[in-house]
Amino acid sequence: MQVSPSSILIIATRQIGDVLLTTPLIRTIRKGYPNAKLDILVYKNTEGILEGNPDLDSIITISEHPNKKEYFSLLKKIFRKYDLTVSVQGGDRPTIYSLFAGNKKRLAILHSDRTQERWKQWLLDEWILLDNIKTHTVIQNLKLADCLELEWQSKVVPPEPDQTVFDTFISDLPLLPGRNHFVVLHPFPRFRYKDWHFEGWVEVIRYLLTTDQKILLSGGPGHEESDFCQRLVSVSDSENVISIAGKTSLAILAKLMTQAKAYVGPDTAVTHLAAASGIRTIVLLGPTNPMKWGAWPVDCNLEEGSPWIKKQDRQNNGNVILLQGLGDCVPCFEEGCDRHKESLSQCLQTMPAQRIIDELKSI
């Protein structure tokens, strides 16, 4: 019989969407060890996706590129403090964090079993090998729970804002939309290779305006995102199109989306958030591998390696619809046609707006 740990550290120093997809593992560990202190280590710019998470006791942060002072401060904070460490990635730094933090048992996902990775295997008590093609990220993370003989929990847990803060935000919205009377569009991804064309967003907005739906444009605080959304507002020339880009936290956006009729967006963290909220979520996919990164539907069947297959023009699972770009090369798993994050993907640039409009007509 395994002895229950009294303190656990999950290491998820990854990007926002990746951290969100760690929440089923977090819940699985919480259910398995309800009395343990459960902390998580994440990057400083990602902790917002865990706001109000009921399964965590505390969130520890580190910069994505820390200096020596930050390293020392972190190691002092976590040194030998945890009976169990669980890392959802196999990089050098997460392995070192696990070594310093864990005093009894260390688990991790490793990217390969090559000879040069042996030192990581020696530092870990158990590890599993990453499948970057056919196994969805949620399930890949949950396989770590098998090492602990825990029953999987499938729910992706959205962040939860303070109710007073949320109510204040809602009261300040011009033309407050009623429940199920607005659609959220997220038109600007972090990386250009996931970008859909401006004209397509304009067509979708013009269609939605004929249905008496209000439209909220979401986006981050960056100038490019805000400017892009504001251009859409200007072109639409309607008071029913409202940009909230840069004006809300992920937690507020998550709660707001539970009241929306539908969501449309590319492969981004906000799209994963929309899927987790339970609303109808239409995802525009180009080169991204859906088997690994497709938005996780609510009440997803855990018996499969992934809720999605590699190639199909349209896929529907639960509350999520995936629309893939057309072409024999889709999905190529590359970062744009020029193989870098700021290059465009022709499969998305040639996707007609009518495909999205047809899906919205059926909702």
SS (H, E, C) 40-90: EEEECCCHHHHCCCCCCCEEEEECCCCCHHHHHHHHHHHCCCEEEEEECCC
Both 108 and 235 in one domain: the answer is no
CB 24 within 8 A of CB 140: no
Both 139 and 211 in one domain: the answer is no
State in Å, rounded, how far the first CA of the chain is from the last one: 50
Domain assignment present for 182: yes
Both 140 and 175 in one domain: the answer is no
Both 83 and 219 in one domain: the answer is no
Percent of the residues in the chain that have a pLDDT greater than 70, as a whole number: 97
Domain assignment present for 152: no
Domain assignment present for 1: no
- For residue 275, the enclosing domain spans 163-361
194-229 per-position pLDDT tens digit: 999 999 999 999 999 999 889 999 999 889 999 999
Note the pLDDT of residue 114: 77
**pLDDT level of residue 1 (50, 70, 90 thresholds):** very low
Both 176 and 118 in one domain: the answer is no
Note the pLDDT of residue 175: 64
CB 292 within 8 A of CB 133: yes
Last residue of a domain, one of 146, 172, 189: 146
Both 131 and 190 in one domain: the answer is no
At 57, phi and psi to the nearest 5? -90, -40
Cα 347 to Cα 193: distance, rounded to the nearest angstrom: 10
pLDDT greater than 80 at residue 303: no
158-201 per-position pLDDT tens digit: 999 999 999 999 888 876 666 668 999 999 998 899 999 999 99
Q: Name residue 265's amino acid.
A: G
pLDDT greater than 80 at residue 66: yes
CB neighbour list of residue 128: distance below 8 Å, 6 or more residues apart: 108, 109, 110, 140, 143, 144, 146, 147
Both 52 and 101 in one domain: the answer is yes
pLDDT greater than 50 at residue 299: yes
Task: For residues 96-124, give the mean pLDDT.
Answer: 90
The CATH number assigned to the domain holding 40 equals: 3.40.50.2000
Q: Name residue 184's amino acid.
A: V
- How many domains are contained in the chain? 2
Note the pLDDT of residue 116: 75
Task: Write the burial class of residue 249 (CB in 10 Å: 0-12 exposed, 13-18 middle, 19+ buried).
Answer: middle
Both 255 and 314 in one domain: the answer is yes
